[in-house]
Amino acid sequence: MILSSLLMAQCLPLASAAEAASVKGVRVSSESVYITTDRPVKYRSFTVGDPERIVVELSDARLRTLEDIPVGGTFLRKVRTGQHRTSPVSVARVVMDLTQKAVYDITQKGNEIIVVVGGKLFEARAKVKDLVRHKVKNVLCCAGHAFD
């Protein structure tokens, strides 16, 4: 009896360590989404078209509540949360409905995952596009004459 109690007591920390992380909240600004969990989680992201969406899946995570948050930003129309799967591993999803196709950037800082839609990457691509146009404008032909 004592031996079985000791064995069970040793297994309890393993059982609680296997519990899924909890999504504590999802905050939204006009072009950013902040996903907070009670501990760091692994995630993956992908896009879906028709209509345009960004999906972030949080592995081994459970939602406390389902949310449907209207945004009305330049790129973000609405943010929704859902429990995609509970077995064999819990997967929570945060879906960002977009107004149009857009680039996005995701960073993880401890227990928080930050998704910026449009932002830095959008501006960087626009600058590269302008730079390419500018460089092409100043091409020299074989006779040494510049042309646009």
Average pLDDT over the chain, rounded to an integer: 79
| Model pLDDT, residue 41 | 97
Say which residue the tokens 């993956």 belong to: 44
Query: Is 1 among the domain residues?
Result: no
Q: Are 136 and 54 in contact (CB under 8 A)?
A: no
Number of folded domains in the chain? Answer: 1
Query: Is 14 among the domain residues?
Result: no
Query: Is 147 among the domain residues?
Result: no
Query: Is 13 among the domain residues?
Result: no
Model confidence over 73-105: pLDDT tens digits? Answer: 999 999 999 999 999 999 999 999 999 999 999
Per-residue pLDDT band for 64 (boundaries 50, 70, 90) equals confident
Model confidence over 48-62: pLDDT tens digits? Answer: 999 999 999 999 999
Gap between the Cα atoms of 71 and 143, Å rounded: 56
Query: Is 8 among the domain residues?
Result: no
- The answer, yes or no, to whether residue 136 has pLDDT greater than 80, is no
Spell out the residues 6+ positions from residue 43 whose beta carbon is closer than 8 angstroms to its own: 56, 57, 58, 59, 106, 108, 113
Q: For the whole model, what pTM was predicted?
A: 0.69
| Model pLDDT, residue 119 | 61
Gap between the Cα atoms of 80 and 75, Å rounded: 15
Query: Is 146 among the domain residues?
Result: no
Query: Is 85 among the domain residues?
Result: yes
Verify cis geometry, omega within 30 degrees of 0, for the bond prior to 70.
Answer: no
More confident residue, 17 or 63: 63
Query: Is 12 among the domain residues?
Result: no
- Give me the domain span that covers residue 38: 19-140
Q: What is the mean pLDDT of residues 64-81?
A: 95
Specify the CATH number for the domain of residue 113. 2.60.40.3500
92: nearest Cα among 2, 20, 18, 15: 20
Q: Which helix (H) or strand (E) holds 8?
A: helix 2-17
| Model pLDDT, residue 98 | 97
